[in-house]
Structure formats: C-alpha cells, structure tokens
Amino acid sequence: MGWKRKDLLTMQELDAGEIRTILDTAESMKEIATREIKKVPALRGKTIVNLFYEPSTRTRTSFEIAGKWLSADVVNFSASGSSVSKGESLLDTAKNIEAMSPDVVVVRHSSSGTPQLLAEALRCAVVNAGDGAHEHPTQALLDLLTIREKKAHLEGLHVVIIGDIAHSRVARSNIHGMRKVGMTVTVAGPPTLIPPYVQELGVKVSHRLEDVIADVDVIMMLRLQQERMTAGLIPSLREYSRLWGLTLDKLAAARPDVLIMHPGPVNRGIELAPDVADGPYSVILDQVTNGMAVRMAVLYLLTGGKAQ
C-alpha cells in the first residue's frame, strides 16, 4: 500500500490501514538500529527541519537520530517562547523555512493547531511533533507499535489511560489511534483533569483507579505537570500520588500480563512508584526505542518511500 498524504498532523485523520502501514514500515526500520553501522541511504539528499517552539530534548533527539540513520540532513531550529514574543509571526517563519527548501518540517508548538496552519502554508511535508493539548501522533504510533510487539495484536485489547487527560496531547492521539485499530479505551483521573464531553471521543470514563486496573491489557500513565496543582486542579501532589499513583500494591489487582506504559519523563514517586517504573510490567524503554523506528518510518513514507 502506497502512502498518499503530504503531512502527518493527527491520528484522527488516519485510517486503520494507514496506521498499519506506518507500524509495518517501522518494524522493518527497527533492524537498522541493530546494525553495526546504523545508516541506510534512504533519505540521502533530503533535508529535515526540526522546528521546536517548545523545548523537548527527547522528541527532538528522537526525530534527529531517525533522520540521520536514514542519511538525511537534519537542521534544528529552536525558538524560545512563542513566536509572538519574538516579534516574528509563525507565517513569517514558515516562509523563511520554505526558502530553505526542506523536504520535511517537524514542528512542536505549545498552541494547538499550529502544525495544521503550517501545513497549509508550506509545500513540504509537515509532521506534528506535539501541538498544545491537541495531538502527538508519533507518540501514539510508537505506543501502538510497542503494544503490538508485546501482545502480537491490537484489536480487542482494552487500555486505560490514567492522569491528566484534559491537557494531554498524548491521550488524544492515543484515543483516536487505539479506537481506529479496534481497541477499547477508558480514561481515568480526578474530574478536574478529565475534559468535558470526552465520551464523545468514544471512550469510557472512570474516576477511581481501583475500578479500572483489574481488567485491562495496558495501563498508560500520563505525566502530571506540577503546575496543575497551582492551577487549583488538584489539592496536592501528595494526595494525587496517593489516589492516582501506581504502586506495586495497587498493581496486585492487575492482570499478570498487563503492560505499563508512560510517555516519559516519569515523575518517579508521583504517577509511578520507582519499583513499578523499573519493574517487569514496564515497557517504557521499549517505547523510546520504538520512537526512533516510528519516526524513521514516518519520515521515509512522507518523503516518497514505498511501504514494504
């Protein structure tokens, strides 16, 4: 199956076949990481611009390594703060970048919708590396790849996503992606961190951790931003970690083959107890490895590669 899209902006826009194409391609890319010389010429002569308006060493590095392993030239632009505070508008920046004739622009921005605006303004491919509280599609894809590897299939699995759903682009992308491949999704957290009408995205909602961990195949913990406390969304970190933190104790109720995922970086002791984060259920490091594979696949497909 060929790849038709110019951009990768959301999981919402992808169908199950497209998701499968990316995951299959990513699987074939994983082998590159095991080679002694980690380099294939697939993207030689192509230029990838990493345009990061929000600092994220992990995601940026992952895209950077993915590009380099495929022999692309990778240029990093980080813009501190918003473009508005810099006095240069987003669309000005877009025009300047266009003038450098890149093949792919990878964009991370604190405002939802920015990748879509850039994609409309740019001729080259645009990859959303996280926009506001909207989407983070490559994260969802690497999560799906990790689950598929461990469980051998996706359809019929039940996932619970726990924590700050309201502000999480990871949650949104995963909800769309998981539902499209036939998984059941429950979201859980205190009501102040669950966005209104989230059921309309096709998920179940729970407000008690104990009710949800017993019969799921995957537990996905989200990172709690400490500013949620000062914003008055939770009374204290202590209370949050007591009610919503995952400990070995609470995990006793879970299935023996449950997977524990986290998009990182983990607040150890808040959402995950250290012995859970590093324990046998955790696939957090597999997620990181699969991140590179998924990003190689996405860059490859968007620059005209054919799925294998």
Partner 1 sequence: MNLLIKGGRVIDPANGVDGVRDLLVQDGKIAACGPALAAPEATPTIDAGGKVVCPGFIDLHTHLREPGYEYKETIATGTRAAAAGGFTAVCAMANTFPVNDNRAVTDYILAKARVEGVVRVYPVGAVTRNLKGEELAELGELAEAGCVAFSDDGKPVMNSGLLRRAMEYILPFGTPVISHAEDLNLAAGGVMHEGAVSTELGLKGMPTAAEEAMVARDIVLTELTGTPVHIAHLSTAGAVRLIRDAKARGVRVTAEVTPHHLVLTDEAVRSYDPNTKMNPPLRPKRDQEALLEALADGTIDAIATDHAPHAQAEKEGEYDHAAFGIVGLETAVSLLLDRLVRPGLLDLPSLVARLTVGPARAFGLPGGTLGLGSQADITILDLGRELTIEPARFHSKSRNTPFAGWQVTGMPWMTVGGGRVVMWERVIKGGFGA
Cα(259)–Cα(242) distance, rounded to whole angstroms?
21
Q: Quote the least distance from Cβ 3 to partner 1, whole Å.
A: 24
Please state the φ and ψ torsions of residue 49, each to the nearest 5 degrees.
Answer: -105, 120
Question: Which of 155, 200 has the CB closer to partner 1?
Answer: 200
Q: Quote the least distance from Cβ 193 to partner 1, whole Å.
A: 12
Q: Quote the least distance from Cβ 155 to partner 1, whole Å.
A: 24
Q: Quote the least distance from Cβ 136 to partner 1, whole Å.
A: 10
Question: Which of 229, 258 has the CB closer to partner 1?
Answer: 229
The residue ranges that bind partner 1 (CB under 8 A) are 12, 82-84, 89-91, 109-114, 116-117, 131-135, 166, 169, 172, 195-198, 200-201
Alpha helices in the chain (DSSP H): 16-34, 57-69, 83-86, 90-98, 114-121, 137-151, 169-180, 209-212, 227-230, 237-244, 248-251, 274-277, 284-302
In single-letter form, the type of residue at position 67 comes to: G
- In Å, the largest CA–CA distance within the chain is 57
With beta carbons less than 8 A apart as the criterion, state whether 169 and 133 touch. yes
Tokens of 205: 């909602």
Q: Quote the least distance from Cβ 85 to partner 1, whole Å.
A: 9
